[in-house]
Amino acid sequence: MHRNFNVKPFNIFLIVAKLFKTDDSILDVIENEWAETILSDLGIVLKVISTNKSKQVLKLSKASKTVEYLLREEDMIMLTVYENAWNQLSPLDQRLLLKGAFSIISYDCERERLNIDNRQYQDLFNMRHAKDANGNEFLDKYDNALEKAALIIESIEAEEKQKKEEEKEAKRAAREAKKALKNKN
């Protein structure tokens, strides 16, 4: 007895194509910034992967229990980096975005549980109180870094859209030229 549930097959290759190993230079910057947080001292593990398409430069998520089991790690955070946009940011903007991303992570010692506060603008609220080594606030610089990141992502999307349109137009022109040649003969 065969049943058809009209379920699309899961395509693992789509996921693998979008995620890849992070460049070592980017990984060094992220690991150095992570080492400065108290979370690294608590033994929380940060795993970094990259993507070639995203709406955010950095995306934090808590690793699922399955991933933690497979990697034999507990209290794991996954950081996804949009490398095309990351590489266009200044080193200061990169550091500020990392500080903002790491500011939404907390650890509840009583419950022994890792929390990520993904409420909208929570990083802005947290960065409002953050200061650099000289006592200067990060908020204005952080706002500028967020704006730069958004503009970079928009420009990348516009370039990709234009490239697709040009490829589509070239294919259409090639089809029409082929059709004209066929009609000539």
Q: Decide: 50 and 21 in contact? Cβ < 8 Å.
A: yes
Evaluate if residue 10 carries a pLDDT over 50.
no
Report helix angle 139-184 to 91-102, nearest 10.
110
d(CA 65, CA 123): 25
Each as own residue / partner, the long-range contacts of residues 7-13 (CB below 8 Å, 24 or more positions apart, any chain) are none
CA 37 vs CA 30, 100, 171: distances in Å: 11, 12, 52
Q: Note the pLDDT of residue 7.
A: 45
What share of the chain in percent tops pLDDT 70?
86
CA-nearest of 9, 64, 69, 60 to 34 is 60
- Model pLDDT for residues 161-175, shown as the tens digit of each residue: 999 999 999 999 888
What is the pLDDT confidence band of residue 15, given thresholds at 50, 70 and 90? very low
How does the average pLDDT of the chain come out, rounded?
A: 82
If DSSP codes are grouped into helix, strand and coil, which group holds residue 115? strand
- Model pLDDT for residues 88-126, shown as the tens digit of each residue: 999 999 999 998 888 888 888 888 888 888 777 777 777
More confident: 25 or 67: 25
Q: For residues 45-53, give the mean pLDDT.
A: 88
Evaluate if residue 148 carries a pLDDT over 90.
yes
Q: Note the pLDDT of residue 163.
A: 93
What is the pLDDT confidence band of residue 22, given thresholds at 50, 70 and 90? confident
d(CA 46, CA 64): 13
Q: Decide: 26 and 86 in contact? Cβ < 8 Å.
A: yes
Evaluate if residue 1 carries a pLDDT over 60.
no
Evaluate if residue 53 carries a pLDDT over 60.
yes
d(CA 124, CA 174): 50
pTM, whole model, 2 decimals? 0.76
Residue that is written with structure tokens 């650890």 in the block: 107
More confident: 10 or 152: 152
